[in-house]
Amino acid sequence: MRRFAIRRVDRLGRIVIPIYLRQAMGLGEGDSLEMYADGGKIVLEKYVPSCFFCGVTEELKVFKRKNICIACLKQAQEVTE
């Protein structure tokens, strides 16, 4: 059975995501969401950090506010040597 909810946008542009939707997506307090427009829809997806260069999601370091995996970081170091 598909459940849906109708929510009003407050004056600051916020909405409340119902708990059953947060639980279904595994969202907890402090988690980040990606959002984008797709036609007439606003799509929300759980944000999974990934390497800025190759898209890998494991062993990430942050450099100048960008996620970079260890492999790409090593490649960058080799280029500068």
Q: Is the pLDDT of residue 1 over 80?
A: no
Q: Judge contact between 50 and 61, C-beta under 8 A.
A: no
Per-chain mean pLDDT for the chain = 91
Q: How many structural domains compose the chain? A: 2
- The residue whose two tokens read 């500068």 is 80
Same domain membership, residue 36 and residue 60? no
Backbone φ, ψ for residue 59 (5° rounding): 50, 60
pTM for the full predicted model: 0.63
The tokens for 53 are 């260069």
Average pLDDT over residues 21-44: 94
Residue 51 DSSP SS3: coil
Same domain membership, residue 3 and residue 23? yes
**Per-residue model confidence as pLDDT tens digits over 5-28:** 899 999 999 999 999 999 999 999
**Domain span at residue 6?**
1-47
